Chains A and B, each alone.
Chain A
Amino acid sequence: MSAADTLRIGLAVEPSSIDPHFHNIQPNLQIARQIFDFLITRDHKQQLGPGLAVSWKAIDDKTWEFKLREGVKWHDGTPLTADDVVFSFGRVPNVPGSPGGYGAYVAGKKATKVDDLTFRVVTEKPNPLMLNDLSTFAIVSHKHGEKATTENYNTGAAAIGTGPYKFVEWVRGDRIVMEANKDYWGGQTDWDKLLYKPISASASRVAALLSGQVDFIDNVPLIDIAQLKRNPNVALSQSPSNRLVFLSLDSNRPVSPFVKNNEGQPLWPNPLRDGRVRKAMSMAINRPAIVERVMDGGALASGQIVPEGFFGHNPALKPESYDATGAKKLLAEAGYPNGFRITIHSPRDRYPNDAAITEAVAQMLTQIGIKTEVQILPASVYFTRASKLEFSFAFFAFGSDTGEASSPLNGMLTTFNPQIGAGAFNRGRYSNVEFDAAMQEALTTMDDAKREQLLRDGTAMVIRDHAVIPLHFQTNTWALRKDLRYEGRTDENTLPRGVTKAK
């Protein structure tokens, strides 16, 4: 095999496991997508298509029947059957020691085999997100997975998939090697062999590409993009991300821990409960300036929850225009002509330029009279404190893994309610009964057009109420050798199968 047919990839983040059900994080998912297949596939904009399941029909509101692709074989040559699917449904929520797997996507679903190539999924209540849910987790082999532990997948013993590449070896921190599956149902790619090198330091990853040690890198740092664009030996690929960067406001409690009056005394009532104050804060933020100067152009200013092209995107909602004078006026109208004091909290190095964005926001708010202090914390401390509701005003980001709006709306903005699993990441504890009702309806509305309208209206409702302050969608950037091409993806996945030689 010639070296030319090996694709060498410099990865920013190494997977934590090869077990595709162990931990629901992007670095694991992108590796799983090479070795395993999914019932439903996602394209570069997270739009759904047939994968191992080729056709489906709803028998009634709660029962779906799926047909499996014919002739699909596991890497050991045994054929794929509905048994493997049923087994995978059972394994997903039961991986010992999993720090957060895909259980949420199979909860309330029961899979049964009809014949070798047919299976049914019965849900507890109508579930319009069935296909999105089935696009999230990999199908593993019953034969190899039954007695397998996560460690057996890591060593490769159980890493027998149906995917385009076969697992060869994984040396943690050093390399992952895969070779092409010559019998792949989806056809062959330009690469016989894959060599992943984890290179977490951004500057080194770029240097590895420039020196020719690797052909393809992900997570190109914002600061290097301009220079790489000028480099004739490098091709760049960019795409908006599904990840929204936003500011969360403590809009519920009568007194908020980090909101003070100008004398530094606790402020009652909490001004963040007033929609006008929240609107003024949003108007005070110059999003184009953040995108241009803080993000070096590597972001897309946002006025809503999901980017264009996603189910539930509301074309009527534009990013809030920057208007400091108007913001001051509105603040005065709300009874705070001299503003107040607040502290904004942010993690460092969890998201691109998180601390710098926070500092910029603080300066902009201070200009309209809201004297904003910045406190930056390591992620390990930050998220625990955030979940304990210790902040008043905080920086977060939220990606839509399902490629549509109901997942972020439900996770970020519905009223916190553990009984129905709503608002798990609603750290401002925003609560709007009308919006909750619309979301509940959307989650069980099978008619796509009607559901999309519900999501659009729901988004408009919370955005006009300034429940959170959306800032921007991140941009994902990849860089390649000049003769290669990659179509950028909203889900941040780095998929060698998508890398082609330029003709």
Chain B
Amino acid sequence: MSAFVLRRLMQAVLVILVVTLIVFFGVSVIGNPIDILVGPDCNQACQAEAIAALGLDRPLVDQYLLFLANLAQGKFGTSYVLGSPTIDLILQRMPATLELAFSAMTISVAIGIPLGMWAGLQPEAPSGKAIMVASILGFSLPTFWIGTMLIVVFSVELGWLPPTGRGPTVDLFGIPVSFLTLEGLTHLALPAINLALFNMSLVIRLTQSGVREVLLTDYVKFARAKGLTNRRVILVHVLKNVLIPVVTVTGLELGNVIAFAVVTETIFAWPGMGKLIIDSIQVLDRPVIVAYLMIIVTMFVIINLIVDIAYSVLDPRIRLQRSAT
């Protein structure tokens, strides 16, 4: 197990290096941030000063080597646009994004699995069919549209929930979280639901098709023949086997939700990382883009590791060593 984890981490380091290389040179090809950043009264001398101040006057290879040298000392660089250390900028915003992502995933799983099970067990009932139709809407309607509609209905028309922003935070093990206060929850509700809808639909469909498939297998028939209660058959024999694809997808989607919650974050003015990375890409703020992607890559590696471990717990036949290749 520890050899497996170690190998995974070494792969991660390699991936991170490749990512920095691609981003570093890729962003430089797109354009020069100074052309976007300067004000109208910044003449040629002023532009040259700004280029020098950001170190963009050096050859690209030198810039990259300097970046690596700083990285070796634990320095991730300073944002061109925001003038602050990139790692601080990202870590300051990470709790908000993580909170939103975990809330959304919790909602998707907590609602998606029971609904999916129901729809799988009662495929012909009107309720089962209704769930499946709703799930199609859930992943086909665009997030920005649903988000705007949620705001119009629940904030502007009904006035129940605040339209934007994050509520007051309290520290939980040193991490600022907002879901422990009522005001925080009211702020969290709409963005979390908006972000959850797509994945909830995905979980419903996966669970439903999984249940229908598993119900036909021999071991379920055998379990019933043994005279086990319906409850035990469904919760143990069916559910456990259905969960494996759900865990994979949830794991991958969690990464996606964290890295790309930007649409929801923008609509609800949620102070997370997604907004930061989009703004940074638009103005070619290379240090932030590089640092952000390094963090995201690390996160994906860790999530995949956890998913692999979760498999082996759910299905002892899966051995970690084999999946490590």
Binding site for B on A (CB under 8 A): 10, 16-17, 19, 22-25, 93, 96-101, 103-105, 107, 136, 150-151, 154, 171-175, 197-201, 203-205, 207-208, 210-213, 378-387, 398-402, 407-408, 411, 418, 421-422, 424-425
Contact = CB atoms under 8 A, between A and B. Distances in A.
Given A22-B83, A99-B50, A380-B281, A201 B269 contact: yes
10 contacts: A99-B80, A100-B34, A150-B84, A154-B83, A173-B272, A174-B96, A199-B269, A204-B266, A211-B162, A421-B46
Contacts of B43: 104, 411, 421-422, 424
Contacts of A398: 40
B47 A424 contact: yes
Which of B37, B78, B283 has the most chain A CB within a 10 Å cutoff? B37
Given A198-B269, A199-B269, A201-B266, A99 B34 contact: yes
A383 B83 contact: no
Nearest to B160: A211
Interface string B269-308: 1011001100001111000000000000000000000000
Interface string B44-78: 11110110011000000000000000000000001
A181 to B, nearest CB: 25
Which of B43, B84, B156 has the most chain A CB within a 10 Å cutoff? B43
B191 to A, nearest CB: 11
Which of A93, A198, A424 has the most chain B CB within a 10 Å cutoff? A424
Interface in B74-101: 78, 80-85, 89, 92-93, 96
Given A173-B275, A210-B156, A411-B41, A204 B83 contact: no
Given A97-B78, A99-B54, A211 B156 contact: yes
B116 interface: no
A100 B163 contact: no
Given A23-B37, A411-B41, A424-B42, 12 more contacts: A16-B82, A23-B83, A24-B39, A172-B271, A173-B271, A173-B272, A203-B267, A207-B155, A207-B156, A210-B156, A213-B162, A380-B282
Contact of A201 (B80, B152, B267): B267
Contact of B266 (A100, A200, A385): A200
Interface stretch (B25-33, B211-219, B224-232, B243-251): B25-33
A211 B53 contact: no
A416 B272 CA distance: 42
B154 to A, nearest CB: 9
Nearest to A199: B269
A384 B35 contact: yes
Contact of B165 (A150, A197, A399): A197
Which of A10, A25, A97, A199 has the most chain B CB within a 10 Å cutoff? A97
Given A99-B53, A380-B30, A424-B47, A200 B269 contact: yes
Nearest to A96: B53
Contacts of A421: 43-46
Contacts of B83: 16-17, 19, 22-23, 97-98, 150-151, 154
B142 interface: no
Contacts of A210: 156
Contacts of B49: 93, 103
Contact of A402 (B41, B80, B148): B41
Nearest to B278: A200
B34 A211 contact: no
Interface of B: 30-47, 49-50, 53-54, 78, 80-85, 89, 92-93, 96, 148, 151-152, 155-156, 159, 162-166, 266-269, 271-272, 275-276, 281-284
A384 B271 contact: no
A104 to B, nearest CB: 5
A378 to B, nearest CB: 7
B230 to A, nearest CB: 47
Contact of B163 (A23, A207, A408): A207
A240 to B, nearest CB: 17
Contacts of B85: 151
Which of B41, B155, B164, B281 has the most chain A CB within a 10 Å cutoff? B41
Given A16-B82, A207-B156, A381-B31, A100 B40 contact: no
Contacts of A424: 42-44, 47
A386 B148 CA distance: 35
B92 A172 contact: yes
Nearest to B93: A173
A150 B53 CA distance: 14
Given A24-B42, A100-B37, A172-B93, A16 B81 contact: yes
Contacts of B38: 24, 99-100
Nearest to A379: B36
3 closest Cβ contacts across the A-B interface?
A: A384-B31, A173-B271, A421-B43
Contacts of A200: 266, 269, 275
